[in-house]
A and B are shown apart, each in its own frame.
Chain A
Amino acid sequence: MRFPDKSQALARLDEVLTTGVMPHNTALGLRAVDIDEGVVTVELPYQDKLVGNPDTGVLHGGALCATLDATCGLAIIAKMEDLTRIATIDLRIDYLRPATPHKSVICRAECYKLTRHVAFARASAYQDTPADVVACAVGTFAIFADEPSLTASALRPASGPA
C-alpha cells in the first residue's frame, strides 16, 4: 500500500497545495480532499477572482483546466515509485455544464496507466455528488526519469511509502 498512514499523506498533500510548492495551485486555493495510490481528490473553493462570466458568476474554464491538469499530475505522482519530474503532454477537457456559482468544485483524478516514459490519467470535476459532473479530462504526461521534482519530494519526503 502506497499510503499506509492516510491522514499523514493527506496532510502532506494539503501542505504541498497551500504552501506554494506549486505557486499557481496555491494561488487557485486548491485544498486536499483524499489521496490513495494513483488517485487524488482536491477541492477548488468558489472565489470571485475565478469567475469567467461576470453576468452569471460561472467559473472560467481556465480555472477548471488548471485544477484538472494539477490533479492528474498529483495522481501520477501518487502512483510513481521513483519521484521525478513530470510534464503534461496533452490534456483534453470536456465541459459538460457550467459550474453552479458559490459552490466548490471537487476534482478526482486517477492515473490508470504508468509506464517508464509516459503516464495516462483521467479526471472528473463535480459539485454535489460524483455523478453531478461539471467537466472531465483525460491526459498524457511525460516522465523525466533523471530530473528531480519538488512536488513529488514534498509529497513523499522519504522517497518511499508515506
Chain B
Amino acid sequence: MSSLVSIVERSRASRDLAPLVASIPFARFLGISAAFAGEELIGKLAFAPHLVGNPLLPALHGGTIGALLESTAIFTLLVKTETLRVPKTITITIEFLRSGKAQDTFARAEFTRLGRRIASVRAFAWQDDPSRLIAAANASFLLMPVKDEQDATVADCVPR
C-alpha cells in the first residue's frame, strides 16, 4: 500500500483533509486546501501574489484556477469513493467565465457519472458568491488500478 493511499484512508475516516492536501507538494506550492462543509467537500485556493497571471487587472493565472478545479475533483473522488489509487485525469475542459480577482477562490465537484473505471466529473469555482461562477470544468478520470503506474495511458480506459 502506498503512503498516499494510507493518508487517504485516514482522511476518509477522520474527515480531516489537511494531511492529504499537505502531502501533495503542488497543492502546498499553490496554497490549495480542502475541508468538508456538511457532506460537501470544498476546495480553497488562498490568494497569494505568485498566483497572478495578469498584474494589471490583477487577475489569477488561469492555470491556478484549473489546478484548483482538478484538485477539488480528485479530492472529492478520493474521499467519496473507495478507490485505492489516485484517480488519473484523462481529460479536462475548463471554461473561464470571469477573471479571478486577487482574493480567495473556492471550488466544489459533483459526479456526472461514477463508473467502475471512469468517473465523469463537473467542478465549479467561485469567489464571493457561489452562484457567480468564475470557472467551470468538465473532466474524466481513470479510477481502475493498472499494473504499472508509469505505463497507464488513455488506452487503458477504452471500453472493450
Contacts and interface: CB of A to CB of B under 8 A. Distances in A.
Nearest to B136: A90
Contact of B88 (A23, A88, A95): A95
Nearest to B50: A27
Given A49-B28, A98-B150, A93 B91 contact: yes
A85 to B, nearest CB: 7
B61 A25 contact: yes
A52 interface: yes
Contacts of A67: 63
A55 B30 CA distance: 19
B4 interface: yes
Size category, B interface: 35 or more
Interface residues of A, number: 47
B90 A24 contact: no
Interface string A59-99: 11111011111100000000000000101111111111110
Given A62-B30, A91-B62, A54 B24 contact: yes
A23 B152 contact: no
Contacts of B96: 87-91
A28 B62 CA distance: 13
Nearest to B26: A60
B131 interface: no
A51 B153 contact: no
A23 B49 contact: yes
B94 A150 contact: no
Across the A-B interface, give the 5 residue pairs with the lowest CB-CB distance, nearest first. Answer: A66-B63, A62-B67, A60-B26, A24-B61, A27-B50
19 contacts: A25-B53, A28-B63, A54-B24, A62-B64, A62-B68, A63-B63, A66-B62, A66-B67, A70-B61, A70-B63, A85-B56, A87-B62, A87-B96, A88-B94, A89-B95, A91-B96, A92-B92, A92-B93, A92-B94
Interface of B: 2-4, 23-30, 49-56, 59-64, 66-68, 70-71, 86, 88-96, 99, 149-150, 152-154
Given A52-B24, A60-B26, A65-B66, 18 more contacts: A23-B50, A25-B53, A53-B4, A54-B25, A58-B149, A60-B67, A61-B89, A63-B26, A63-B63, A65-B67, A65-B92, A69-B61, A88-B94, A90-B95, A93-B66, A93-B92, A93-B93, A150-B55
